[in-house]
Structure 1
Amino acid sequence: MLELDEQNLDDDNLLLEQIVSGDEFAFNRMYYQTNKNIYNAVMAYVKNEHIAIELVQQVYIRLWNNRQKLKGVKSLKDYLFIIAKNLTLDHFKKVTVEATFFAGLRLKENASENTTDEKIEQLEYDKLLNDAIGQLPPQQKETWLLISEEELSYAEAATKMNISRLTVKRHLELSRKSIREYLKSRIYSG
């Protein structure tokens, strides 16, 4: 048993060296050996196939893009699980921040009694939000409007825009990020 573990470790170390040197074949081999386990680990937390697939893709993209930094890594598989864990945690943080942000927007919209100051603030905020939406690239803007204003599903928006659901999702993520950054820069700068 110990000899088998040592053999696996030697194979992993050789694979790691080849990946560090930019060997795409070695990277592909490592991907096919590990992606199912990484997917299962991520899926256990996110419980959504599309999100799990996206996070797993990000794991391997991050690994490949940072391959020069892998020289000190002792266990490639452990390193992959750490990347997957960190990306999954980042995903949950992002979802929480977005949910809080948009819940706040809905609360502001639903407030029935506003004082004069609140009404003025709401008008200023609405103008900022419209300005933020206006500065988006065309497809991100269209996606935002279809999902947020017309309340279409990703599938409906994808059909209307003649693009994939994943592309709709990506445009929406980018538009939300851009709008958040725009609002933060305007609200907290003064």
Structure 2
Amino acid sequence: MLQLDKLNADENNSLLEQLVIGNEDAFNQIYYQTNKNIYNAVMAYVKNKHIAMELVQQVYIKLWNNREKLKNVRSLKDYLFIVAKNLTLDHFKKVTLETTFFGELSLRENEPVSTIDEKIEQIEYDKLLMNAVGQLPPQQREAWLLINEQELSYAEIAIKMNISKLTVKRHLELSRKSVRDYLKSHIYTVITLPFLSILIIFFS
């Protein structure tokens, strides 16, 4: 089996030409000849085989979806490594944003808001949280509000809602998951961080 760095120019051009017109055999050949090197490059930085496999899969999905735009690509090797590099950087950026965001959630309610930027961010966060709670099913929303705004106990909520404490617990588990997922999917509307600066010599 050929390795990525052994693809000669003629084969590179031939495969690209066939890929551009949607030839699945050409795509499969490119994949089997190059995926090992792309995986090793990504794995060198993410250090997690499952994440690396997912990113490699995204590389080839992007390759196939953008096949009609590859007419002017001169080097298949360079193109694949650039796509892999960009996807890896995006992965690290997303992880950094999520880690920063959720690491601050527990501090927001008790920390004083001092600067104008922090006040604006707090307002946007409050709006986002309100939207997240608003999209919950009625009983989950009621349980969420009773425990987070009125600070009632499970027993008090059970009496107020006329349900068992076990059902209260289930409503709260589901509501917390839904709110967390909502905040996670809208994270970029609250936090804006500089693009993660990572020097990846392997890709250069």
TM above 0.5, yes or no, is yes
Structure 2: how far apart are the matches of 1:103 and 1:123? Answer: 18
Structure 2: how far apart are the matches of 1:60 and 1:16? Answer: 13
Assess, with a 3 A threshold, how the Cα gap between structure 1 residues 125 and 16 changes in structure 2: closer, same or farther.
closer
Alignment of structure 1 residues 28-177 onto 2, 5 Å: 28-109=28-109, 111=111, 128-135=128-135, 145-146=176-177, 172=181, 176-177=184-185
Structure 1: how far apart are the matches of 2:124 and 2:29? Answer: 55
The residue type paired with residue 8 of structure 2 is N
Assess, with a 3 A threshold, how the Cα gap between structure 1 residues 28 and 144 changes in structure 2: closer, same or farther.
farther
Structure 2: how far apart are the matches of 1:176 and 1:9? Answer: 44
CA contact (8 A) 1:136 1:178 kept: no
TM (norm. structure 1) is 0.63
Structure 2: how far apart are the matches of 1:22 and 1:33? Answer: 18
Structure 1: how far apart are the matches of 2:36 and 2:175? Answer: 34
Assess, with a 3 A threshold, how the Cα gap between structure 1 residues 105 and 77 changes in structure 2: closer, same or farther.
same
CA contact (8 A) 1:136 1:175 kept: no
What do the CA deviations read for 1:83-130 (whole angstroms, capped 9, x no partner)?
A: 00011011111111111111221222565x89xxxxxx9899557414
Identity %: 66
Assess, with a 3 A threshold, how the Cα gap between structure 1 residues 94 and 10 changes in structure 2: closer, same or farther.
same
The residue type paired with residue 106 of structure 2 is R
The residue type paired with residue 101 of structure 1 is F
How much has 1:178 moved relative to structure 2? 3.3
Structure 1: how far apart are the matches of 2:102 and 2:6? Answer: 52
Q: Which residue of 1 aligns with 2:154?
A: none
Assess, with a 3 A threshold, how the Cα gap between structure 1 residues 175 and 45 changes in structure 2: closer, same or farther.
same
Helix, strand or coil at the partner of 1:73? coil
How much has 1:34 moved relative to structure 2? 0.6
Q: Which residue of 1 aligns with 2:27?
A: 27
Whose helix proportion is higher, 1 or 2?
1
CA contact (8 A) 2:98 2:187 kept: no
What do the CA deviations read for 1:50-95 (whole angstroms, capped 9, x no partner)?
A: 1111111111111111111111111101110000001101111111
Gaps of 5+ in 1: 115-120, 150-171, 185-190
How many residue pairs get matched? 147
Larger RCO (CA within 8 A; separation ≥ 6): 2
CA contact (8 A) 1:22 1:67 kept: yes
Structure 2: how far apart are the matches of 1:67 and 1:132? Answer: 38
TM (norm. structure 2) is 0.59
Assess, with a 3 A threshold, how the Cα gap between structure 1 residues 103 and 37 changes in structure 2: closer, same or farther.
same
Greater Cα radius of gyration, structure 1 or 2: 2
Helix, strand or coil at the partner of 1:72? coil
